[in-house]
Each structure stands twice: as C-alpha cells, then as structure tokens.
Amino acid sequence: MAVSRGEPQSIGRRRGLAARLPPRLRLALYPPFWLMRLKIVELDPHWRRVRIRLPLTRLTRNPGGTMFGGSQAALADPIAALACARNFPGHSVWTRSLSIDFMHEARGDLDLRFEFTDLQIEQIRTELAARGRATPQFEYGYHDSSGRLCTVVHARIAIRPRGYRPARPETADD
C-alpha cells in the first residue's frame, strides 16, 4: 500500500471530505476496514501508539471458527507504513514486505498493537540523512482478550523521497 505524506494533518494527498475527517475516523471508514467492523481503540496523533480491535464476525471468521488470517494481514499491512508516513512527511512510503506468524488460534476478538519508539524514529531519521532513503523493519502483533500474543507481524517499510528512482533495480537488501 503506497502512502505519500505532504502535510502533517492528512494521510496521503487527498482533498475534499476525506482530508477533513479526523485520522481515527478516516481509518475506520476505509472501505476494507469498515467491512471488518474494526474499532480504533487508541491512535496517537503521531501514530506512535496504535491499538485497533479486530472483531471476530461472520466476515472475519474462517471455516474452523477462528479469526481468518487474511483479515489480520489486511489490517496489519498499512499500519507501519502509515506511521512512517505520518512521521516523515515529504516521502513516499509503502510496505515492502510483510510476514505473519500465526502462533495461536484466535477464537475471539483481537487487538492489533503497534508502537513506534523514539529510538526507531531517530534511527530512520539518521538513515534518511545518510542515504536519502530508509527501509526499517517493525514487529508488532495481535493479542487476544486475555493479553496473549496470538499473531506476530513483521513489516519492512520503504521510505523514499518523492520521485525516487533507483539507479539500479533494488534488491531485497535495499
């Protein structure tokens, strides 16, 4: 999911009604998320802490009666990229890779918990200053109602200057 950030008040370069909606409501009304009936539990203005409840419903339940992994992947995909876009305006940001480890079955609602630390932000800022681009990695997860970690998400995010074109094709290490 590509996300461009131009101004600190909006996600992307949208104009009109969407740009005037608070980020919390914009995220909840994003069509794929709206259909999942998720609830934004916590959304820090700078996306440093994000907590989103993914309810187990007819639409998110797999044939085995547990949370469908595709719903978890769809919600997890843009979160780290949106956090980076919020903190590094003027850059194009997208999820470069995403892997998910389903550690325990989820028989109820799940909370996605994401934290973006000051140390991570400083490391990215340093890499952007040195290389003009960054590809940070994030780990976050889904927790059940008892607090047990059910799913671990590993996301690799590309942060590039707008208009960036690699001199050579990018490799997995870029």
Task: Give pLDDT tens digits for 101-126.
Answer: 999 999 999 999 999 999 999 999 99
pLDDT at position 93, please? Answer: 97
Closest C-alpha among 151, 131, 126 to residue 139: 151
pLDDT at position 8, please? Answer: 43
Q: Which residues of the chain have pLDDT under 50?
A: 1, 4-11, 14
- CATH superfamily label, 2-161: Hotdog Thioesterase (3.10.129.10)
Asked if 76 contacts 113 with a C-beta cutoff of 8 angstroms, the reply is no
pLDDT at position 9, please? Answer: 42
Question: Is the sign of the CA dihedral 137, 99, 1, 74 positive or negative?
Answer: negative
pLDDT at position 171, please? Answer: 66
Query: Model confidence over 141-160: pLDDT tens digits?
Result: 999 999 999 999 999 999 99
Give the residue extent of every domain in the chain: 2-161
